[in-house]
Structure 1
Amino acid sequence: MTAIQRPTQMPDCTYTDSGRSVVSGVRACATVISDVADTMHANSAPDGIEGEPAEVAQHAMTSTAGQVDAASAAMITGLTALDAYCDRMDELKSTWHDLENMKGALDISVISLESRKNNPEPSDTTLDSDIRAHNSKVSTYDTDVSDWVRHVTEAEDRVIAALGRADTVSEAEGLVGLVPHVPTLLQELESLGKDPLAINAWWLALSAAEREALKVSDPSRIGNTDGIPIVDRDDANRAHLSALLNTLKQQKDDGEALSDEQQELYDSAQAVYKGLDKADGELDAEGNPVPAFLMVYDPYAADGDGYGAIAFGNPETADHVSVNVPGLGSKLSGIDGVAGNAWEVRENAERQGQGSVASIAWLGYDAPDFGKSVNGVIDGLGVTGEGKAAAGARNLSDFVDGLRAARHGEEPHMTVIGHSYGSTTVAKAAGNDGGLDVDDIVLVGSPGAGDENPRASDLRGHVYVGAAGDDFVSRLGSNEDLSLGVDPTSDDFGATRFKVDTPGDFAFDDWDTNIDLHTSYFDKDSTSLNNVGRVVAGRGDDVDPEGHREGGNAGWWAKETAEDGWRATKAGYEKAEDGVKWWLKNRFGIG
């Protein structure tokens, strides 16, 4: 009888995701060094100094710039090696899990075969052949384990050797001429314009060192360019975010007060981290960690309001992708709230459908925002017109085109969700004058779909609408010239309207409730969120239907105004009555 072989014990895999955190931290440091080098080269001699002092300053600047260039070259070399090591170890960690599962199956096979061998049955005529088949699998497994150990050792040796080539000053100085020439690469990128397909093809053709040099030297450009893969955008944007926040923290720690602009940058950076942290420790339906990607980070855009986009799940691989567009009052310092809504959409859609889901909080346009200054008031008044929505619509279309360009597999089911003024932005992007073409459009709390879109059929994609009956913002849509277009919940517009929760009644003297009526569409487990989740999961036919509004919104406003007037009149009568009673009691002792 053939002996039963036992599988080799699988060695531990000590590599963890913390390796990526180390690379991210090093990249942020390299970004700061690159910025210092740029500054030194751009300011080789102070203005107004001539003669010998200028020569000294020139020499000092040039000398220091050369030293910083050497440090930057060493960092880029090290980053390229570390990034390659993490990529390789991610593959090997996946292989390790597969081998662990294989060993578990072989251990069970050993127990079964030993039981048959120790308790033979006359009818068991295949035991010997089964043992030989089992032993063949063990032999393959043992070889795979040996290969796995060898591959881990090779990966470690490569990264150690690469880092060893850049760990002295002289070695770093020798690397300066070997790192990619970033200005040439940026010129190549510039020549591609805004074509995301061409940009994606160009990026994928670059070497790992060229990509790393670009991410370190110009993280804002790389992180915010549509068509560049999401992982690389995330790398660049996180480096930019970390470098900026650390600089501001250091300034505060040194006792130097932040200016108003710097405080806004500080607050927005903190908000971005809070948004990214929504996925921290969370698992998807398959039990895998939900990744968070910083797809857009431009804190200086929109006159300092900032642009940002955070994805939960990978839109380059997910079966269902949603892009969530906020409205009035949205800016980067509040993106954690927008990210919270996107997270709830992802979680709900995953529970309601089949397949993986990625949900993106997108603030890539200048949403109307009432600031404290005169300019802030003027900016906020943009909510009364379609100019900001039109500009945002172009950015949104470009962003979605970039998502598609970076995806190299089957097209996903894609939904774009607009809330409040963001719904006007989405509608204008999906209308005949826009470039957005997706499967489904969701408009919630919408003040109007834009003057050029009087019908849902004017938009590309199936259109779904949700609005609480007393959501005052959703009552702004009309056929009047001063509006943002027709009410999307109206029968004339013709969208599929779904049910939402109604957390209260509108009242001119209760704006807390009024705001809740307008902002509760993404509340966890709400009727509204459940219906939005069904659309995102590709189950739009299963939404809870709600009848269209009829008769326009003028009648609703007239009713609310009349009721408010009656409430005020009633309160006045009651106060007058109390006053008469007080006078009669104190003057005549009556009452």
Structure 2
Amino acid sequence: MTAIARPVAVPELTIEPGARSVASGVRACAVAMSDAGDVMRHHAAPAGFEGDPAETARHAMTSTADDVQAAVAALQVGLAALDAFCDETEQIRSDRIDLATRHGHLVTAADDLERRQSAAEPAAGLDAEISRHNGQVDTFASDVVVWEQRITRAEDRLVSALRSADSTAEADRLATSAPDVPGLTDELDRVKNDPAAIYTWWKGLSRAEREALKIARPELIGNTDGIPIADRDEANRAQLSALHNTLEQREADDELTDADRDLKDKIAAIHQGLDKAADQFDENGDPLPTYLMVFDPDAANGDGHAAIAFGNPETADHVSVNVPGLDSTMDTFDGVSGDAAAVREAASRNGNGSVASIAWLGYDAPDFDASVDGIRDGLGVAGEGKAAAGAKNLSDFVDGLKATRQGDGPAHYTAIGHSYGSVTVGTAAGGDMRVDDVVLVGSPGAGGKNPHASDLHGNVFVGSSDEDFVTHLGGDDRRLLGADPAHDDFGGTRFKVEPQGEFSFDGDGLKAGIENHTSYFDDADQMEREHRGDRDSDSLVNIGKVVSGRGDSVDEVSPRTESNDAWWLKQAGQSWLDRHTSHRGG
């Protein structure tokens, strides 16, 4: 009787999964050190300070800056090795899952062969089957040995690299051969505004060159369309952590300025935004990854630019870009992030593939405050200038997503614009941006150059509450911010939204109008908090359908046929009647 082989057990993976976190912390330290070295080198002696003391100061500062840069060079080597180690161990971890699956199949096969062999009359040809099975078990055992050897080699390479940079002398030596960051940034500048070319250039760099750029120029690498999302995230998080740590130290020393406090608020909003999908999981049941794709607190005249992806847009089947409107700044970005996270969750419930949803504030949205500049900026909502500038940035961002695409085939892309953000999305979709679907919610207009849905590239869906006064700002011609996308003449697909109360010019009516304008992304939790039910709002459900590629199943409602001029006249007339009726009644 031929013996039936049993497969060897697959060893547990002893490598801790926290290497990426270690690398992230080291990178933030390296960014802070690189910045400090640059400051010392550029300010070796104060302006107007001349003579021997100046030379002494310049020499001491320059010498210290050289020592700092040597340490940074050593950290670059360590980070490149850590990055390689993380990539390899992730593949090793994935391969262990495959080995475990094979192990299960071989155990099942062995059990079946033993059952059949013990039968009163074993089937003919069983010995041949057992022989093939035993050969597969032998191959499996060899594969397990090779897998274990890969772990050992990965660890040995990491240790060797770290030992090559663990002394002052080795750091000084490494500094002389460190990547040429100015030369590399010049190369990047030559292909700027071409995400596909940038991606090709980046992939041609060595790990050491990429790490050097992420450390020395995180603000450039983290915000450049065409750089892969993981590298952008690493650069931006390093910059975020370095700034956060600096501010924490200044606060401890009671040295915070007003500008520091403003930056602290922005950083807090980003941290809160990154946590918005902390309870979400991907299609495999793993914690949902988040990526800080844009982090530029100085952009937009100090309002800041930011973008956070919930899920990986390079591999997801469906990708949405969510664009906010009036009063959107970095220090309120946690709210924008919450909307994007809600969209991703709603879309995922449709079970039509993986979903990534991006909160994107890559333009200078109009925002009001009591200052002269704030009033001037807020008046931008009455024109298309900010939307036009934002449309260019949005189009470049989407091109960047497509350039770094890693999935099987192209993704299904949806651009979602809320309030003034819908003007930005409409302007982009009527220009160079190419997406599959366009969603305009709470829209004051689709842009003056887009009188019809066919002027936009992509299927157009509209969520517009009749009691949201902002949606009645769109004109029947090209005045203000363009045509009303909810109107029958525009030709979009209008879907059902959740009304909250009737608009009027009095206090409660104005409040209802504002609530209608800000509730398009309300999820079940928000609905329950406001005692409006225990499910996602109709609007969010329908947005989720569009994002998941099921726009043909949205709950359609009839488009508007009345002009918005008539609506406003009706509201004004009702307000006059209410006031005079109240006065006579008094």
TM-score where L is the length of structure 2: 0.95
Which secondary structure state, in structure 2, belongs to the residue aligned with residue 56 of structure 1?
helix
| Corresponding residue of 1:550 | 561
Whether the aligned pair in 1 keeps the contact of 2:448 and 2:479 (CA below 8 Å) is no
How many Å separate the matches in 1 of 2:372 and 2:93?
56
1:447 paired with 2:447, answer no
Which secondary structure state, in structure 2, belongs to the residue aligned with residue 295 of structure 1?
strand
How many Å separate the matches in 2 of 1:249 and 1:260?
14
Number of residue pairs the alignment of both structures matches? 571
How many Å separate the matches in 2 of 1:570 and 1:305?
46
Instruction: Render the CA deviation track for 1:468-501: whole Å, top value 9, x for unaligned.
Output: 1110100111136652111111111111111111
Shift of 1:63: 1.2
Please list, as runs of the form range in 1=range in 2, the aligned pairs for 1:116-131 lying within 5 A after superposition: 116-117=116-117, 119-131=118-130
| Corresponding residue of 2:486 | 489
Which secondary structure state, in structure 1, belongs to the residue aligned with residue 358 of structure 2?
strand
Whether the aligned pair in 1 keeps the contact of 2:280 and 2:345 (CA below 8 Å) is no
How many Å separate the matches in 2 of 1:113 and 1:518?
67
| Corresponding residue of 1:417 | 416
Equivalent of 1:565, from 554, 565, 576? Answer: 576
Once superposed, what is the RMSD of the aligned Cα atoms?
Answer: 1.5
How many Å separate the matches in 2 of 1:372 and 1:27?
40
1:514 paired with 2:513, answer yes
1:515 maps to amino acid: I
Whether the aligned pair in 2 keeps the contact of 1:23 and 1:83 (CA below 8 Å) is yes
| Corresponding residue of 2:469 | 472
Whether the aligned pair in 2 keeps the contact of 1:261 and 1:304 (CA below 8 Å) is no
How many Å separate the matches in 2 of 1:320 and 1:139?
42
Instruction: Render the CA deviation track for 1:44-96: whole Å, top value 9, x for unaligned.
Output: 22222222111210111111011101111011011000111000000000011
Segment drifting more, 34-43 vs 280-289: 280-289
Please list, as runs of the form range in 1=range in 2, the aligned pairs for 1:22-421 lying within 5 A after superposition: 22-117=22-117, 119-256=118-255, 258-408=256-406, 410-421=409-420
2:569 maps to amino acid: A
1:395 maps to amino acid: N
2:108 maps to amino acid: I
How many Å separate the matches in 1 of 2:196 and 2:563?
44
| Corresponding residue of 1:587 | none
Whether the aligned pair in 2 keeps the contact of 1:325 and 1:419 (CA below 8 Å) is yes
1:443 maps to amino acid: L
Instruction: Render the CA deviation track for 1:296-340: whole Å, top value 9, x for unaligned.
Output: 110110111100011111111211111111000111111111111
Gaps of 5+ in 2: 524-535
How many Å separate the matches in 1 of 2:278 and 2:167?
37
How many Å separate the matches in 2 of 1:108 and 1:381?
71
How many Å separate the matches in 1 of 2:14 and 2:328?
43
1:39 maps to amino acid: V
Gaps of 5+ in 1: 577-591
1:498 paired with 2:495, answer yes
Segment drifting more, 395-404 vs 100-109: 100-109
1:44 maps to amino acid: A
How many Å separate the matches in 2 of 1:496 and 1:334?
31
Instruction: Render the CA deviation track for 1:166-187: whole Å, top value 9, x for unaligned.
Output: 1111111111012101000011
Shift of 1:261: 2.1
How many Å separate the matches in 2 of 1:377 and 1:439?
36
Whether the aligned pair in 1 keeps the contact of 2:348 and 2:548 (CA below 8 Å) is yes
Sequence identity, in percent?
55
Please list, as runs of the form range in 1=range in 2, the aligned pairs for 1:574-589 lying within 5 A after superposition: 574=585, 576=586
